[in-house]
C-alpha cells in the first residue's frame, strides 16, 4: 500500500517548497504552470500551493472543497475568484479536463461527491465566518520556506484539515 503523501498530513513539518515538490512529483498530469501565459500561470501555481497548504489531493472531492476554502480563508475571496474566472486562460483548465475525461464524467463526479461534501463545507463555513487573518493567495512566496504546520497554525487552518 502506498504511503500517504507528507503534505497531506495535518501536522506535516515539510516546508511549503518541499510539499509543493512532492505534490508535483505525485501528480505529473497537472498542467505545468510554466507552460501557460503569465497571468494564468500565477493563478495555477497559487491553486497548486493551496492544495499543499490545505492538505488537499486532486480527487474531485478535494477539488470541490478547495474553492470554498480559498474563498473563506484566503485573499482569494469569491469576488476575487469571479474576477480571475473572467480571464480567458482559466477556461483552458476546464476545457482540458472535459477533453481528457468528458463532460459526462466531470458532471457525474461532481454529482457523486456533492452529498458527502456538503456537511463538511457547512462545518468549514461555520468555522471560518468573520475570519480576519487571510492566507496570501497570489503572493505566497514568503511562505515557501516555512513549515506547513506553522503556516496552518498561523492562519488557523489546522481545524479544517482532516
CB 124 within 8 A of CB 160: yes
What pLDDT is recorded for position 88?
Answer: 61
3-state secondary structure of 74: strand
Tell me which of 60 and 36 has the higher pLDDT: 60
Place of cell 489531493: 57
Does residue 142 belong to any structural domain of this protein? yes
50 vs 32, higher pLDDT: 50
Q: Which domain holds residue 62?
A: 38-160
Q: Is residue 119 part of a domain?
A: yes
Is the per-residue pLDDT at 23 higher than 90?
yes
Name the burial class of residue 16, with classes exposed (0-12), middle (13-18) and buried (19+) by CB atoms within 10 angstroms of its CB. Answer: buried
Q: Can you read off the three cell numbers belonging to residue 132?
A: 480576519
pLDDT in tens, 70-126: 999 999 987 887 777 666 656 666 677 778 788 888 889 999 999 999 999 999 999
Say what the pLDDT of residue 90 is: 60
Does residue 29 form part of some domain?
Answer: no
81 within a domain of the structure (yes/no): yes
107 in any annotated domain: yes
Query: Whole-structure pTM over 0.85, yes or no?
Result: yes
Q: Please give the Cα distance from 133 to 135 (Å, whole number).
A: 7
CA 54-59-62 angle, to 5 degrees, is 35
Count how many domains the chain has.
1
CA pseudo-torsion sign 70, 74, 76, 77: positive
Amino acid at each position: 500500500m502506498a504511503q500517504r503523501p507528507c503534505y497531506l498530513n495535518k501536522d506535516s513539518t515539510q516546508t511549503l517548497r518541499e510539499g509543493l515538490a512532492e505534490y508535483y512529483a505525485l501528480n505529473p498530469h497537472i498542467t505545468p504552470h510554466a507552460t501557460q501565459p503569465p497571468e494564468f500561470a500565477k493563478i495555477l501555481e497559487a491553486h497548486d500551493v493551496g492544495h499543499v497548504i490545505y492538505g488537499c489531493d486532486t480527487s474531485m472531492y478535494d477539488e470541490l472543497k478547495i474553492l470554498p476554502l480559498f474563498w473563506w480563508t484566503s485573499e482569494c475571496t469569491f469576488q476575487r475568484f469571479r474576477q480571475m474566472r473572467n480571464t480567458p486562460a482559466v477556461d483552458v483548465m476546464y476545457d482540458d479536463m472535459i477533453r481528457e475525461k468528458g463532460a459526462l464524467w466531470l458532471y457525474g463526479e461532481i454529482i457523486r461527491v456533492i452529498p458527502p461534501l456538503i456537511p463538511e463545507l457547512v462545518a468549514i463555513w461555520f468555522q471560518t465566518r468573520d475570519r480576519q487573518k487571510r492566507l496570501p493567495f497570489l503572493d505566497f512566496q514568503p511562505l515557501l520556506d516555512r513549515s506547513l504546520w506553522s503556516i496552518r497554525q498561523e492562519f488557523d487552518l489546522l481545524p479544517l484539515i482532516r
